[in-house]
Structures are given as C-alpha cells and as structure tokens.
Structure 1
Amino acid sequence: MVFDDLDPRPARGAAVAALGREDLDLYSVEELDERIEGLKVEIARCERAREGKQSQKSAADALFSFKS
C-alpha cells in the first residue's frame, strides 16, 4: 500500500528558501556554473508560466469587462 498521498506537501517556496540557505562555499566553480544554469532554466520556466497566467487573466478581464 502506498501512502504518498497522505504525506504533507511542502510549503510553497520551501525549495527556494532552502536554496537560499545552502552553503555555497562547498561548491567548486564548475558546480556553481551548473547550479547557475539550472537556476536559469527554472527562471525561464517560471517566466513562461507567468506569461501564460497573465494571458489567461487578460482574456478573463476582457471577457468580464462591463465597461462601455
């Protein structure tokens, strides 16, 4: 029996907060470069999600706008 659905979800932003607390002194230059690239990919993913949500919001605002 799998009880993964019963495990509490991590709080929103918990992963970002954990990244901010991580000791970067332990990383090599190459590892920091890889980390930066990974963060850039995540930023781009967030920006795409934000653009999609903004587009949906704009469409909804236009649909439900009752101004003449």
Structure 2
Amino acid sequence: MIFEDDPRPKPREGLHPPRLEGWSEPELRAYIAELKAEIARAEAAILTCGSHRAAAEAFFRKPPE
C-alpha cells in the first residue's frame, strides 16, 4: 500500500520502450545490456523482499507447544 507521504517512488505503470528504428547494432547491444542490468537489479530486490518476509514470518511464528 502506498500512502501520500511515502517517500518511495511509485511503481511505474507499464514500460514505454523507445523506438529502435535507426539504432546501430552497438547501440542495440548496449541497450540490451542496460535492460539486463535492470532486470538483475529488480531480481535482487525481489530476493531481498523474500528474505525480509521470511525473517518476519519466523519472528512472528507461534512457538511449538
């Protein structure tokens, strides 16, 4: 949930890819490398979220009786 005073940036609504017509092969390869780096960054953030969730679930789990 995002609140009005939340300092985090709001998630983007869809991608707006650039027009690729006229780009050279090196430019296209560089663009692909940037996209792959961004995917890796997002996947790392997902793993961090998962580890935080697991830690919270472990903390709040009821002890065995």
Q: Which TM-score applies when normalising by structure 1? A: 0.67
TM-aligned CA distance change 1:63 to 1:11, over 3 Å: closer
Calculate the aligned-residue CA RMSD, in Å: 2.0
Alignment match of 2:40 (pick from 41, 44, 62) = 44
Q: How does 1:1-68 map to 2 (within 5 A)?
A: 12-14=11-13, 17-19=15-17, 22-66=18-62, 68=64
CA distance in 2, matches of 1:39, 1:27: 16
Q: Which runs of 5 or more structure 1 residues have no equivalent in the other structure? A: 1-9
Paired AA for residue 16 in structure 2: A
Number of positions where the alignment pairs a residue of Structure 1 with one of Structure 2: 56
Greater helix share, structure number: 1
Q: Which runs of 5 or more structure 2 residues have no equivalent in the other structure? A: 1-8
CA distance in 2, matches of 1:11, 1:27: 30
SS of match in other structure, 1:13: coil
CA distance in 2, matches of 1:23, 1:48: 28
